[in-house]
Amino acid sequence: MTSISINHKHDLNGPVIGQKLIDLSKPTVMGILNITPDSFFSGSRFTFNSNQITDQVGKMIANGAVFIDIGGYSTRPYADDVSVSEEIDRILPVIEVISKDFGDKIAISIDTFRSKVAREAVNAGATIINDIAGGNLDEEMFQTVAELQVPYILMHSRGNPQTMNKLNDYKTGGVPHLTLAVISELQVKVTQLRALAVKDIMIDPGFGFAKNAKQGFEMMRNLEAFKVMDLPLLVGISRKSMIWRTLNITADEALNGTTALNMYALMQGAKILRVHDVKEATETIRLFEELEN
């Protein structure tokens, strides 16, 4: 059984969150909760209000979310920089509320590329670190993950939100090949993490990060190639620009396109769908499983 160990608790049959077993041989849903004023999709933006947060997370759980990903720093292209202290101030109260009210029902992921934020978040109740920079923007991140011994989502990216769009020239052996280059760069990081005894790693190809829309579709077509890494695959294409720019619509109108690509991702081996719309993603997984059976 493909699985990850959550909350520092290990079970011979798989990972446990409270009394809940997570089996990543089956697809699951990660709901997005952005504690930022400038994330690209307005429907995912929240400020701290304990009742509002509780209501939103409760709905995500009721609609099938297994993970919730909390971010206090918008990582859309050209996003404004946010200080470490401000990022911490944004996310800590939210994590504390969710951990208190839903800690035995859902795995809390902290979406950050900063080791100090990650450490503070885990101390407050987060159980997974989701690093959109794959360790590139904080040289202490891998060591922090190793010390905390929590699952780590290793995403492929280059540069930072202000520079990544200029860093999308991919070659392997001098020959342009996006997917092979991404896998190769991820594998280097996995080797580094394993050397530090990090046990539970999930990979994210990083749609929209140092990849343009055309490259995003190329990578989606070749998504099955990531199976060579033998690690749970997370796909996050929810309402991203590769969808709405292709369809000449807005992010607010991109749910249908998201659902279409999520189904394709599941067919190529995705195990975690990171989404803004949990109910629709859960339904997509249900239909996928019916097709598979």
Residues labelled catalytic = 240, 274
Rounded CA separation 231/202 (Å)? 6
The answer to whether the CB of 21 falls within 8 A of the CB of 100 is no
Q: With the CA atoms of 258, 263, 268 and 269 taken in that order, what torsion angle do they form, in degrees rounded to the nearest 10?
A: 100
Q: How far apart are CA 33 and CA 18, in angstroms?
A: 22
DSSP 79-110: PPP--HHHHHHHHHHHHHHHHHHHTTT-EEEE
In terms of Cα–Cα distance, which of 40, 98, 29 is closest to 64?
A: 29
Cα(135)–Cα(269) distance, integer angstroms: 25
Amino acid at 154: L
